[in-house]
Amino acid sequence: MNAVLAPGLYIVATPIGNLGDLSPRAAQILSQAAVIAVEDSRVTAGLLRHIGVKRPMTPYHDHNAEAVRPGLIARMGMEAVALVSDAGTPLISDPGYKLVRDARAAGHSVVTIPGPCAAIAALTLAGLPTDRFFFLGFLPPKAQARAAAIAEVAAIRATLVLYESGPRLAVTLAALAEGLGDRDAAVAREITKKFEEAVTDSLSALAARYADAPPRGEIVIVVAPPGEPEAASAEDADAALAEALQRLPASKAAGEVAKKLGLDRRELYARALELKG
């Protein structure tokens, strides 16, 4: 049976709650792999039971990865090695990228079997723009580091996606409101499970909602991009032009102000001549 799969590394996405989301291809790879590298063998054993197979498993997690990786890399030259995480897509806030890097460096084949990912599933529930999004994973738990991480992304013109736990949800939502402004957001919880929900509101309203009642289960926060910057007013333009005209000829002053305020250069040039005249 193992001969069916070519040697190499197989990155296998698994369900984030509903076992029905395991793809037929993922089940086929898991049932044929020579060994499955797992975060927690009890969790993956449950998944294997669900598809009625038994395969050898070996732990691969943050605490043993450095020690275990060389052996796995050696094996994938001769056998099919699958990598799973407890839930969702390996490597996404989960171990695995160094295994992929070293497998490639060793010349082994790397194959992905895509599937569930909580971040992507939350984006499909939130009703916020999806054309550009920025995945933050988990924010640092300490207040100062968390505020610094939020400040770093405040100017990014994209929807933000974060993982969080129930007990920390309200504090994180309040920190996001403080650092980003009170943007629209969604809290997606228990996706694909019995109590799946997506609650949408402003960050501050969501923080208030969860402050006294930390929710159970697994959570993704999705935050809207920053609003469009307000267009500069005629008064702003006049003030900037008047200042620039003290240093520059009209055409150059118009060019400088057009760039600075995002306004039309020709209109500014006409206005500069008026102001001078």
Q: Which among 84-92, 153-161, 170-178, 258-266 is the span making contact with ligand SAM, rule CB under 6 A?
A: 84-92
Q: d(Cα 187, Cα 126) in Å, to the nearest integer?
A: 8
Which of residues 31, 44, 89, 159 is near ligand SAM by CB under 6 A? 89
Which of residues 23, 28, 93, 130 is near ligand SAM by CB under 6 A? 93
Q: Which among 70-78, 140-148, 162-170, 254-262 is the span making contact with ligand SAM, rule CB under 6 A?
A: 162-170
Q: d(Cα 160, Cα 123) in Å, to the nearest integer?
A: 9
Check residue 176 for interaction with ligand SAM (CB under 6 A): no
Given a contact cutoff of 8 angstroms between Cβ atoms, the answer to whether 153 and 181 are in contact is no
Which of residues 190, 197, 201, 238 is near ligand SAM by CB under 6 A? 190
Q: Is 139 exposed, middle or buried (0-12, 13-18, 19+ CB in 10 A)?
A: buried
Q: Which among 103-111, 113-121, 177-185, 242-250 is the span making contact with ligand SAM, rule CB under 6 A?
A: 113-121
Q: d(Cα 74, Cα 72) in Å, to the nearest integer?
A: 5
Q: Taking the complex as a whole, how short is the minimal distance between the CB of residue 20 and ligand SAM, in angstroms?
A: 13
Check residue 94 for interaction with ligand SAM (CB under 6 A): yes
**Main-chain dihedrals φ then ψ at residue 54, nearest 5 degrees:** -125, 125
Check residue 87 for interaction with ligand SAM (CB under 6 A): yes
Locate the DSSP E strands across 180-259.
Answer: 184-189, 197-202, 218-223
What Rg value do the Cα atoms of the chain yield, rounded? Answer: 26
Given a contact cutoff of 8 angstroms between Cβ atoms, the answer to whether 172 and 162 are in contact is yes
Chain positions 226 to 255 lying near ligand SAM, rule: CB under 6 A, are none
Check residue 16 for interaction with ligand SAM (CB under 6 A): yes
Of 221, 225, 227, the C-alpha closest to 173 is 221
Of 150, 203, 200, 148, the C-alpha closest to 174 is 203
Check residue 15 for interaction with ligand SAM (CB under 6 A): no
Q: Which among 117-125, 149-157, 223-231, 235-243 is the span making contact with ligand SAM, rule CB under 6 A?
A: 117-125
Q: Which among 56-64, 81-89, 143-151, 179-187 is the span making contact with ligand SAM, rule CB under 6 A?
A: 81-89
Given a contact cutoff of 8 angstroms between Cβ atoms, the answer to whether 13 and 116 are in contact is yes
**DSSP 3-state of 229:** coil
Q: Taking the complex as a whole, how short is the minimal distance between the CB of residue 114 and ligand SAM, in angstroms?
A: 10
Given a contact cutoff of 8 angstroms between Cβ atoms, the answer to whether 123 and 185 are in contact is no
Check residue 112 for interaction with ligand SAM (CB under 6 A): no
Q: Taking the complex as a whole, how short is the minimal distance between the CB of residue 72 and ligand SAM, in angstroms?
A: 19
The residues that touch ligand SAM, with contacts defined as CB under 6 A, are 16-17, 85, 87-89, 92-94, 117-119, 163-165, 188-193, 218-220
